A and B are shown apart, each in its own frame.
Chain A
């Protein structure tokens, strides 16, 4: 039994509005990760996935504030808390070295007027230890060595501007840059959502390649494509309206979903199987609830096909159903 490398303990985050109103984007999220684990987080747009990422990185930049709970990262031998700390301190000591992030939309993440090698060099310069002197050649050598190690065409790619690369290459550059300081863990926020299926597969291949080479060990992979998560992740957590509604192994959650929301998500997926051609994917009607107001009862109840009258009254808690956590009193 290996130790946890990442712990999230009843994390709650809210956005402060202009008039002092709070939008509780994330409520009561808890999970822990072991060394080498890949955790997938899935959910609709607007269910708090990207806010959760900011929280996990300890980057609670106003108007986002932590409400409750804690995020702890293993740093050396001890677990280090990321909450209620100076952001610059977190940035200098934890981010990119312990935990790094692969952002969504590679085109927005890269500076369009700088070459890839300069963007990568900036990361190294920004994370230089105090007092550490690096000359330009050393820095570029490190950049070349890293890109070489992960199997990219260094000569061409590093001397290109982002505009000259294809979408897939850009995304791979972003992944290379975010792992340049060899973080223990990577949080990938929809790394493939803007790519076509073939490029997506190549990017996922690259991520596995990095894992094999030991460049990073653990990963949180966020996406709305459940079938993709099934192939990538060990464990999957499904989010809805800021809460985790189901959490289990990939096999359990995808093949045998127990929460009505997960079941509905799986029902909305398409298939190319010949036997499935007549099957009609069923969209979930409606939209996730607004989190501006306090929600009483089950958050999914208004859209749930199996909702009982008291679902709207009783707050649902995570409970264990068939070896996984489900936030539904009626799940079997």
Chain B
């Protein structure tokens, strides 16, 4: 896809190796792509296909072993500067919050990373705004600790942090895989809202092609470290012949599929 928007991430034949010698494992193999400003990209693949490694390369947590990876035409050098603009939401919200501090204090701490540090009142106001953006009344979490909230609520807190920080790019790594189906639709709405209202570039990493279909502008299908298929949801999903995409589509249990699995035990209707 060609776009008139500036390029945010540009990868030119990047690879990432782990280990060496006999135990050498290449998690990302010769991957090239461009991600444009204000795009909603989904990276889809099964476990172990290298999608999380790719997300971590975007966050600057890993450096590619070979190839060139640029963020807005520059390599990622200073991580603190990078995280001013690129932020992430992870899979397990409980692992992301310290159990010993209140949620509000941690949300307020998060704004410390910004270069031009906002004043105390500004911080409070922005956290309140963030909470309102995910439909949580600030009074509801006043004085609460992470273990007092449910998983779905905690996942919203992570998103509230993003709404308060307002980075330019969000990397959401399996942000919906720990929450149940009703909350999932909610989280997706908020991700979409980040893109539509705050003009954020969102990279959404998931194993569920159904979610990707619903939210994304472009989808990358990964398998075994390579991007095997990419394009708009319609291009990727409809009438595709690419075997890995077909497999991912085939494996989702959906109501409209007549026989998802051989079920010899179903009492015949």
| A residues neighboring B (CB under 8 Å) | 36, 38, 44-46, 166-168, 194-201, 204-205, 208, 211-212, 224-228, 230-232, 234, 250-251, 254-255, 264-265, 268-274, 277, 281-285, 287
Question: Looking at the complex, which one of A167, A224, A230, A270 makes contact with B213 (CB distance below 8 Å)?
Answer: A270
Q: Is the CB of A283 within 8 A of B253?
A: no
Q: Is the CB of A268 within 8 A of B209?
A: no
Please count how many residues in chain B sit with their CB below 8 Å of the partner chain's CB atoms. Answer: 49
Closest 4 CB pairs of A and B: A196-B207, A283-B185, A283-B186, A224-B180
Task: Name the distance in Å between B238's Cβ and chain A's nearest Cβ.
Answer: 5
Q: Is the CB of B251 within 8 A of A208?
A: no
7 contacts between A and B (CB under 8 A): A197-B209, A197-B251, A274-B238, A277-B214, A283-B183, A283-B184, A287-B153
Task: Name the distance in Å between A107's Cβ and chain B's nearest Cβ.
Answer: 12
Chain B 172-204 residues near chain A, CB threshold 8 A: 177, 179-186, 188-189
Chain B 43-57 residues near chain A, CB threshold 8 A: 46-48
Q: Which residue of A lies closest to B244 (CB)?
A: A198
Q: Which residue of B lies closest to A192 (CB)?
A: B253
Q: Is the CB of B182 within 8 A of A198?
A: no
Task: Name the distance in Å between A273's Cβ and chain B's nearest Cβ.
Answer: 6
Chain B positions within 8 Å of A284 at CB level: 182
* A195 to B182 Cα, complex, angstroms: 18
* A63 to B223 Cα, complex, angstroms: 46
* A204 to B248 Cα, complex, angstroms: 16
Task: Name the distance in Å between B151's Cβ and chain A's nearest Cβ.
Answer: 6
Chain B positions within 8 Å of A201 at CB level: 251, 253, 260-261
Chain B positions within 8 Å of A198 at CB level: 46, 247-248, 251
* A198 to B207 Cα, complex, angstroms: 9
**When A and B form their complex, what is the total count of cross-chain residue pairs whose Cβ atoms lie within 8 Å?**
133
Q: Is the CB of A265 within 8 A of B265?
A: no
Q: Is the CB of B234 within 8 A of A265?
A: no
Task: Name the distance in Å between A330's Cβ and chain B's nearest Cβ.
Answer: 21
Question: Looking at the complex, which one of B46, B234, B265 makes contact with A196 (CB distance below 8 Å)?
Answer: B46
Q: Is the CB of A271 within 8 A of B210?
A: yes
* A204 to B254 Cα, complex, angstroms: 14
Chain B positions within 8 Å of A38 at CB level: 265-266
Chain B positions within 8 Å of A199 at CB level: 46-47
Task: Name the distance in Å between A72's Cβ and chain B's nearest Cβ.
Answer: 23
Sample of 5 further A-B pairs with CB below 8 A, known A197-B252, A224-B180, A270-B208: A38-B266, A270-B184, A270-B210, A274-B238, A277-B213
Chain B positions within 8 Å of A285 at CB level: 135
Q: Which residue of B lies closest to A275 (CB)?
A: B256
* A254 to B48 Cα, complex, angstroms: 32
Known contacts A166-B48, A197-B252, A287-B153: A282-B264 contact under CB 8 Å: no
Q: Is B60's beta carbon under 8 Å from chain A?
A: no
Question: Looking at the complex, which one of B185, B238, B260 makes contact with A281 (CB distance below 8 Å)?
Answer: B185
Chain B positions within 8 Å of A250 at CB level: 266
Chain B positions within 8 Å of A36 at CB level: 265
Chain B positions within 8 Å of A200 at CB level: 251, 253
Among B234, B249, B263, max chain A CB count under 10 A is at B263
